[in-house]
Amino acid sequence: MKFTERKMEILKEVVDRFIAKADPVSSRKIAQGSEFDLSSATIRKEMSELEVMGYLTHPHTSAGRTPTDKGYRFYVDNVIKEELDLSADDGESSTGLDITIGKDMEIETILQKSAEILAKFTNYLSMIVAPTIQQSKFKHIELLKFHGGNLLMVLITDTGRVYKRSFVLGGKYTDLDLQGVTNILNLQLRDKKIIDIGMEDIKIQKGDSYLILLVNRIIELIKECIKEDFHYNRIFIHGTSVILQQPEFIDLKKIQNILRVIENEYLLMKLLMDFSEDKDFIVKIGSELFEEGTEDLSLIASKYKIYGNSTGAIGVLGPKRMDYSRVIRNLNLFRKNLTEIFNSRA
C-alpha cells in the first residue's frame, strides 16, 4: 500500500478532528464536514488502509478511528513542521511573559511564575528546570564566622543559585583571614566554570601561605556542592489539575498513572533534559517516552539560556491529543522570553 497524498490529507483530518473533539472520527463525519470531494465509502476504504499501515486504530466501542503513536508522529514531523516553517517569518505576534521583574527577584521566583503562566497558556502541565551548577560560573563567595569556631561558606553562581555549607576547621582564623581568602577567591575565580574549579587555579603569595589549608577546604566544599547538585536539581511544575480535566483521563487507572508520573520529579527532569544539544525542540509521543504510565502522554520540550551561558529546560506534558501546533508556538515564545528576561538582568 502506498502512502498517497490523499491518505495524508485524510490522516491530517482525522488527527485535527480528534484533537479538537476527543471523539473517534468516522468516514461519514469527514465526508459531511470537510472539503473532500469523496464519498463516505471511499474515505472509509482509505481509513481502513491507514489502520492496516499502523497510522490509525479502531476502538471496539466506536465506529470511528483515532490516531496511533505512529499517526501522531507523522502528523508532527510533516504537517506541524510544515505549518511552523510557513509561519516562521509571517510577523505573527503573541502575548509574552507577563511578569513584573524586580531587580532583586531571584531566578527561581521568575521560573516559578513562568511555569504558572505557561500552564495557563497551554492548559497542560508546564515544567521548567533550572540550570545545574555544572553549567554555572563562579560569581561570588562569602565566608562567615560564628561563635564556637563554626564557619559558613556562601557560594553564588552567575545564575543566581546560592549554596551554603557549614564547616569547622582546625586553627584560629581571624575575620581578616576570612576576608583575605574571600578576596583571593573572588578575584581569581570570577567567571570560571564551577565544574572546572580546582586548587591549581589559586595563586597564594608566600606571606599568605598559612591560608592554604582554608582555601583548600573551600575548594573541597565547592566540589561537594557539584556532587550533590548532580543528583538534585530544581524543577518547577504547574497545571496538575488542568491536565486531569482532559477527557481521556476520566478513567481511574489512567488518573493514577498520570499522578504517579507527575509526582516523580526525578522522572520529569529526566524526560525534560533528555535531548541532544543541537536540537531546539523535542516532541515525544506516548510509547516514545519509554516510561511506565506515560503511554497516554506527549511531551514537548525546549531549552532557554541564562545570561547566555547556562542552559535550562522548559516543557509541556499533555495528552497525546494535545494541540501540537499551538503548544510549540507558545513554548517557542516562552523560551525566547525567558532568555531575554535573563539577558536584560546580566
Q: What is the model's pTM?
A: 0.76
CB 171 within 8 Å of CB 158: no
Query: With 60 as the cut, is the pLDDT of residue 97 above it?
Result: no
The pLDDT value recorded for residue 344 is 72
* Residue 343 C-beta-side C-alpha neighbours within 13 Å: 11
Task: Give the pLDDT confidence of 61-93 residue by residue, as tens digits.
Answer: 667 899 999 999 999 999 888 766 655 554 444
Q: What's the pLDDT band for 57 if we cut at 50, 70, 90? A: very high
CA distance 80 to 325: 6
The rounded distance, in Å, linking the Cα atoms of 60 and 52 is 15
Q: What is the pLDDT of residue 130?
A: 81
**Residue from 113, 189, 125, 205 nearest 156 by CA:** 189
Walk me through the domains of the chain, giving residue ranges and CATH numbers: 5-86 (1.10.10.10), 100-132+233-344 (3.30.450.40), 134-231 (3.30.390.60)
pLDDT, tens digit (0-9, with 9 covering 90-100), for 111-167: 888 899 899 888 899 999 887 777 778 989 999 988 777 899 999 887 777 888 999
Per-residue pLDDT band at 309 (split at 50, 70, 90): low
Please give the Cα distance from 102 to 341 (Å, whole number): 11
C-alpha grid cell, residue 309: 551561558
Contacts of the segment 72-76: beta carbons below 8 A, 24+ positions apart: 72/15, 72/285, 72/286, 72/298, 72/320, 73/285, 73/288, 74/8, 74/11, 75/11, 75/12, 75/15, 75/324, 76/283, 76/285, 76/324
Residue 263 above 80 pLDDT?
Answer: yes
